[in-house]
Amino acid sequence: GFLMQTSEMLRKICIRNLVRKYCRGLTAERKVQLQQKVVTSAVFSGKKEGYLESLSQPFLETRLKENDLNPKVLQLIRGENIKYVTPVIKYDRNGFKARERLLVLTQSSAYVVEMAKIKQKIEYSTLKGISTSNLSDGIVVIHVPEDNKQKGDVILQCEHIFETVTKLCILANKQSVVKVVKGSLRFRVGSGKEGTMVFTVGPEPQVFKDKTGQLTVV
């Protein structure tokens, strides 16, 4: 019995040392990757299509560099540490017209940017929720409070959905507000009105306004 106890203790010490050695050998970049992927797993594992395929794809630090942004935009958000920039498609809340935009994530806020203009600013402290579907689309809805500052929730299509949502919920420290929904979701249009988005499966990916006025994501 004593020998077995000693053997078990030695085994645990050996494993602990191996883990310590592995962790010490990790580069800072690799450590960040692992930390981010742990969050992605907690949010999406077993819930959203494409998650398993995303495991082998390392997250980039950013999709666009700070100097890819218009100098006017940089001036407007100066003093805030820019952490991540990615091209997105933004869908208007009313007519659902698709518009090319940039999503800029700083230390404290998310910005939807059009060329030299900031179209919307969402402070992380006010962020109410982040919704995606359980299908393989890249749609994310950022839910904001109903106040005069905000025009309504933000509907975006992201090419790197797992990366973008992970960066957003880590920076905002709002992992718990991410929802992966089935079928449909509600979003706020502004001035007390709500809209509906429907997620469905079809032969080719598309996003359009259907006859009933809903945004349909195939």
In one-letter notation, the amino acid at residue 51 is Y
pLDDT of residue 148: 67
What is the rounded average pLDDT of the residues 16-38?
Answer: 80
Q: If pLDDT is split at 50, 70 and 90, which confidence band does 146 have?
A: confident
Residue 17 vs residue 92, higher pLDDT:
92
Report CA Rg, the chain.
Answer: 21
* CA–CA distances in Å: residue 59 to residues 35, 149, 163, 164, 172: 11, 32, 6, 9, 18
How many C-beta neighbours within 10 Å does residue 48 have?
22
Asked if the model's pLDDT at residue 49 lies above 90, the reply is yes
Q: What single-letter amino acid sits at 78?
A: R
Question: Whole-angstrom Cα distance, residue 218 to residue 216?
Answer: 6
pLDDT at residue 27 tops 80: yes
Q: In this predicted structure, what is the pLDDT of residue 95?
A: 85
Say yes or no to pLDDT of 128 above 70.
Answer: yes
91-117 pLDDT, tens digit per residue, is 998 889 999 999 999 999 999 999 999
Which domains does the chain possess?
A: 47-182 (2.30.29.30)
Q: Is the confidence at residue 51, as pLDDT, over 90?
A: yes
pLDDT value, residue 25: 65
Instruction: Tell me what the mean pLDDT of segment 33-44 comes to.
Output: 95
